Amino acid sequence: MKEWLKKYRLIGFAALISIPAVGIYGYQQFNRKPPDMHGLRSSYVIASEDLVSQFDADEKEASAKYSGKVITVVGNVGMVQSTDSSQTVFLNDGISASAVICHFQKNATDKKLMLLEGEKIRIKGVCSGYLMDVVLVRCVVENEK
Amino acid sequence: MKNKIMKLFVLLGMVVLTGGAVFCQDKLVSRNGSVSFFSKTSIENIEAHSQTAVSVLDKKTGKLEFSVLIKSFLFQKALMQEHFNENYLESDKFPKSTFKGRIDDLSKIDFSQDGNYTVSVSGLLTIHGETRPVTAPASFTVTNGSAMGQAEFNIMLSDYNISIPTLVKDKISRSVKISLNVKYDDLAKPQMN
C-alpha cells in the first residue's frame, strides 16, 4: 500500500512540475517574436554583384543556398525609396539590370536612413529570393568590422 | 512563360540603362509593392505583410502582372511565420505567388490626366502551385504620370490547396482577405527619395 502511494505521489509531483513547465514553454514559443537582426550572425557575407550573378546564373541553386538565410551584402547605394512605414535601398553596380533590394521596416530605423547615391554600405537581412532583383527583408545596416 | 517574363524584365531594365525611354513610355513598374493578407476569426486575427512585390502595368494594353516572394511576408509572431512557410504555403517548393491579367475597362483610365479611377481587374492568380481565375475591383490614382494601384479581394484557402490542421482550424479563417497597394513609376524615370 505504502509503495503504491509512493509511486503515485512521485508521478503526481512530476506532473505538477512538468505540466506548467510545458505550458509556459508552449506559451513562450507561440508568442515568440522574430529575433533582433542586430544580434544574428550572417551565414554569408557577399558583394551585391556576386549575389545577383549567382541568382542570374542559376536561380534554383542560389535560392537553395541563400533563401531564408541571414546574409550580409556589401554594395553601393543605387537608389533609396521611402514610405511612411519603411525604406527600400537598392544596391547595384550600375551595370547589371538587377539589384539587391534591401527592405527596412520602420522599427529597424529610428530615423530615416541618410544615404548618398554611390555610397558603399554593408546591409544584413534575410534573403527572400529573386524576382527582378534579389530581395532582402528585415534589413539593418551593419557597421564595418 | 517564366523565361519570357524574365527576359521582358531584363529588356526593360536594359532600355532604362541605355536611356531608350521611347520604348518604355507604355510601361509602369513597381519593385516594392505592398501585399497584405488578413485572416479574422473569433479566436485570433492573423495578418502578414510584404513590401517587396514586383508589378508591371502596360498602359497601352492594360496588361498587369504581379509577383511576390512567399518568404518576404512578415508576421508579428515567429512561429506563425515558420508554419506559414514550412507547412501551409510550402515556400521552398512554391517560392512565389503570381498574378497575370489585365485591367478589363482600361478606357476608364486617362494616364495623362491626374485623377482617381475605379476599374475591374481580372486574371489568373497562382498560389501554392494552384492557379485560379480572379476578378476584383481596383482603383488607380494617377499623379504626374505615375500611378498608385489599390485592390482588395478574398480568396478561399481550399481553392489553392492550402490545408489547415485540425488543431488550429478555429484560429485561421477559410477565407482570407488580400490587400494590394502598389506605387508604379514610369520605367523611364526611376524615382529617388
Per-residue pLDDT at A1: 58
**CB-CB neighbors (< 8 A) of A138 in chain B:** 74
Angle between the A59-66 and A48-57 helix axes, to the nearest 10 degrees? 130
Integer Rg of chain A from CA = 23
Q: What is the pLDDT of residue B144?
A: 85
Interface test with B, best of A128, A136, A140 (most B CBs within 10 A): A128
- Considering all CA atoms of chain A, what is the largest pairwise distance in Å, rounded to the nearest integer? 85
Average pLDDT, chain B: 84
Output the pLDDT for position A24.
83
Beta strand B27-40 pairing with B130-143: unpaired
Q: What is the DSSP letter of A86?
A: E
**Residue of A58, A77, A131 to mutate when probing chain B, most B C-beta within 10 A:** A131
Cell of B71: 518568404
For residues A120 and A107, the answer to whether their CB atoms sit within 8 Å is no
- Percentage of chain B modeled with pLDDT above 90: 63
Between these two residues, A42 and B170, which has the higher pLDDT value? A42
Query: Smallest Cβ distance to B69: which of A79, A88, A131?
Result: A131
Q: Is B174 exposed, middle or buried (0-12, 13-18, 19+ CB in 10 A)?
A: middle
Q: Which three cell numbers stand for residue A36?
A: 533582433
| Closest to A139 in 3D by CA, of A120, A125, A121, A128 | A125
Q: Which amino acid does the sequence have at B114? A: D
Residues with pLDDT less than 50, chain A: 145
Q: Which of B2, B5, B49, B51 to mutate to test the interface with A (most CBs of A within 10 A)?
A: B51
**Chain A contact for B112 (CB, 8 A cutoff):** no
Assess A61–B contact: CB distance below 8 Å, yes or no: no
pLDDT higher than threshold 70 for residue B56: yes
Chain segment B128-162, per-residue pLDDT in tens: 999 999 999 999 999 987 899 999 999 999 999 99
Q: Which set of grid coordinates corresponds to residue A59?
A: 536561380
- Does B137 lie at the interface with A, CB-CB under 8 angstroms? no
Query: Is residue A30 a contact partner of residue B77, using CB atoms and an 8 Å limit?
Result: yes
Which CB contacts under 8 angstroms, 24+ apart, belong to A33-37? A33/B76, A33/B77, A33/B78, A34/A138, A34/B74, A34/B75, A34/B78, A34/B81, A35/B78, A37/A70, A37/A108, A37/A124, A37/A125, A37/A126, A37/A138, A37/A139, A37/A140
Q: Which letter, b or e, does each residue of B86-113 get, where b requires 16 or more Cβ atoms within 10 Å of its Cβ? A: eebbbbeebbbbbbbbbbeebeebebee
Residue B140 forms beta bridges with which residues? B117, B149
Residue A98 near residue A132 (C-beta atoms within 8 A): yes
Considering only the beta carbons, identify the residue of A81, A126, A138 that sits closest to B32: A81
On whether any CB of chain A is under 8 Å from the CB of B189, the answer is no
pLDDT in tens, B72-98: 999 999 988 998 999 899 999 999 999
Nearest to B79 among A29, A79, A103 (CB): A29
pLDDT of residue A17: 83
Ordered alpha helix ranges (H), A1-145 = 2-30, 48-57, 59-66
* Contact between B57 and B109 (Cβ < 8 Å): no
Q: pTM higher than 0.80, yes or no?
A: yes
Query: Nearest CA to B87 among B189, B8, B180, B162?
Result: B162
Do B95 and A63 make contact, defined as CB atoms within 8 angstroms?
A: yes
Q: What is the pLDDT of residues B4-25, one digit of tens each?
A: 455 455 445 444 443 333 345 7
Residue B138 CA to residue A64 CA, distance in Å, equals: 36
Using CA atoms, how far apart are residues B191 and B193, in angstroms rounded to an integer?
7
| Closest residue, chain B, to A136 (C-alpha) | B72
